[in-house]
Amino acid sequence: MGHHFIYEGSRTFAGVSHENKFIVVRRDFFDTDIKLIRNLITKEKGISAGLDSALFAANLMLYPSGYITTNEALKNHKEAYLFEKAVHSIFINKFPTKYAAFNTNELTNFKLNAENIISIISIFLTSGANMVCELIAQETTIRLAKKPSLVSSYFTSDKSGATIYAFPVCDAKRIELSPDKLSFFNKTEVFMTLTRDRCYFH
Host H or E run for residue 178? none
Burial (0-12, 13-18, 19+ Cβ within 10 Å), 73 = buried
- For residue 37, the Cα-to-chain-centroid distance in whole angstroms is 20
Residues 110 and 165 in one domain: yes
Residues 56 and 122 in one domain: no
Beta carbons within 10 angstroms of residue 137's beta carbon: 11
Residues 112 and 68 in one domain: no
For the chain, report the end-to-end CA distance as a whole number of angstroms: 36
Residues 19 and 46 in one domain: yes
Average pLDDT for runs of 10 along the chain of length 202: 84 92 92 90 67 66 88 91 92 80 93 94 90 92 86 62 93 96 95 95 82
Residues 113 and 174 in one domain: yes
DSSP string, 133-174: EEEETTTTEEEEEEPPPHHHHHHSS--S-SEEEEEEGGG--E
Tally of domains within the chain: 2
Question: 69, 100, 65: which is closest to 178 by C-alpha?
Answer: 100
pLDDT at 53: 66
Host H or E run for residue 108? none
pLDDT at 182: 97
Domain extent, residue 185, equals 101-201
pLDDT at 1: 66
Question: Where is the domain boundary, 98, 119, 147?
Answer: 98
Question: Where is the domain boundary, 72, 98, 124?
Answer: 98
Residues 55 and 140 in one domain: no
The predicted model scores a pTM of 0.88
State the SS3 of 31-70.
HHHHHHHHHHHHHHCCCCCHHHHHHHHHHHHCCCCCCCCH
Contact residues for 189 (Cβ-Cβ < 8 A; gap 6+): 202
Digit-coded pLDDT (tens) for 80-139: 899 999 999 999 887 767 788 999 999 989 999 999 999 999 999 998 788 999 999 999
pLDDT at 198: 93
pLDDT at 4: 94
Question: Where is the domain boundary, 53, 70, 98?
Answer: 98
Residues 47 and 138 in one domain: no
Residues 105 and 91 in one domain: no
Residues 161 and 118 in one domain: yes
Residues 9 and 55 in one domain: yes
Burial (0-12, 13-18, 19+ Cβ within 10 Å), 196 = middle
Residues 118 and 186 in one domain: yes
Residues 15 and 56 in one domain: yes
